[in-house]
A and B are shown apart, each in its own frame.
Chain A
């Protein structure tokens, strides 16, 4: 068993909020007990205000917890903040850590000095990041002139320049176009494969979760409500998969296939959609049953939409 990168025990944080003259206490994170091992890629998901950012701030020593304890990279986040800073890289999707009016290369130089990298380490790492994130074309461009997609790539490079063991990404793909998202995810997968970096990301983009994370932590109102794989999460809420079949001829609605629910037909019955529960019946069995009734030309199996799954989890708790 490797050393845990993140370990929390009953971690919680309240805020005192002023409402007119009265002060009310608001629980942002209730009691979080979780362990993340080196090399894991964890998606930390939940609605706005579920306590994601507060948790990140407690893990990095920005906020002092109200209760419980946390260890990040084996260090106490608040007491050992400066040492921890060398081990952790954080990307905030909506906050920049770059120097707005300086060229990209200058920001890298300053960060290398801030993290006291040796000349060789700095050169090697900068070259690696520039190549893998494709930054060479705008290294001499001031940050303020970059497009959002370019800037996010630079932000990621800046956070990873000191080769942190743990990389925390807070909404890294927010506002990015499909291609930029894709590139960023590919980079993170490669970075993880090459250096064994641990990833913790908060996101609303379920594509991020599907492509990047092998484990999900779902928080709701400051409480951890799920810890496991994405597939397992879908199962807990009984999320169904959908078999889409294209048929050779117009067929009446296939609403008598055992173990399925007919969702709809298009093109006069040429394309039909059948929902089924993967725990009750396999896709193969459903397909066989459909084939008995009509000639299948093409098929697709749709995985449950993660956002939908999260909505169901929340709904079930209310």
Chain B
């Protein structure tokens, strides 16, 4: 009994997080330890996400074995688009992907538990878990992006570096907003995550395509409403100084931060309405 208490005291006192971010770090730390403790599973998970990432990259490569250019971009340019989109999406997925679990919480009624804790709901949801395997996808994206930056003929300048940095950050923010937007909609659908996945994962796929090949409806949807074209395609067009298209001109890559802000407006609106619906304020 005495031994047990002593043992517990030791485990409880070591590195208990303190400060404002402590609650989130405590949860995430425990989640990460739990994932790593099943080492075999973890390695397998990492390997399989890596494989999926590589297969998607191979798809692009196969496509360009048949055609030289697509929507004004050649394979090297597409490599850049793919890399940028995949890196941004994977990082957003790593941080915000757990918005996906909201329907599970809603069905089990465990969302109520979040209401009983002194942190903001959305932050609790986002930090309720983390999938480290998503790092493997980010690695594929980073690899593709790096290769793309090397093989393309880029006129390097401070402006180019700034554009790239802005595009990456805005891309992560835009995809993150998509996850939050989808979560907000789940409050109404509960069983309808397939419907929102069509936009979240469809958007991710759209982001790695040259937007110039899209028809007008698709351009409106993924070019402007969900601003996927601004996460990778347009920054690359601007970076490579390509002409762009009628609706999406070459300089539009600089508007990536504005697109992120717009995406977050959508997300905040959807989340707010969703929470109000759940609590039944308008009800």
Contacts and interface: CB of A to CB of B under 8 A. Distances in A.
Contact of A78 (B26, B279, B283): B279
Interface residues of A, number: 44
B12 A114 contact: no
A63 B118 contact: no
B69 to A, nearest CB: 50
A122 B11 CA distance: 13
A66 B120 contact: no
B34 A101 contact: yes
B123 to A, nearest CB: 11
A136 B113 contact: no
Contacts of B109: 92, 95
Main DSSP-derived SS at the B contact region:
helix
Contact of A85 (B17, B27, B116, B279): B116
Interface string B135-154: 00000000000000000000
Give 4 nearest A-B pairs by CB, closest first: A113-B26, A85-B118, A64-B281, A114-B23
B189 to A, nearest CB: 14
Given A64-B280, A113-B25, A113-B26, A88 B108 contact: no
A92 B112 contact: yes
Interface string A76-92: 00100111011010101
Contacts of B30: 99, 102, 106, 109-110
Interface of B: 1, 4-5, 8-9, 11-13, 16-18, 22-23, 25-27, 30, 34, 108-110, 112-113, 115-120, 276, 279-281, 283
B230 to A, nearest CB: 35
Interface stretch (A39-47, A54-62, A227-235, A280-288): A54-62
Interface of A: 13-16, 57, 60-64, 66, 78, 81-83, 85-86, 88, 90, 92, 95-97, 99, 101-102, 105-106, 108-110, 112-116, 119, 122-123, 126-127, 130, 136, 139
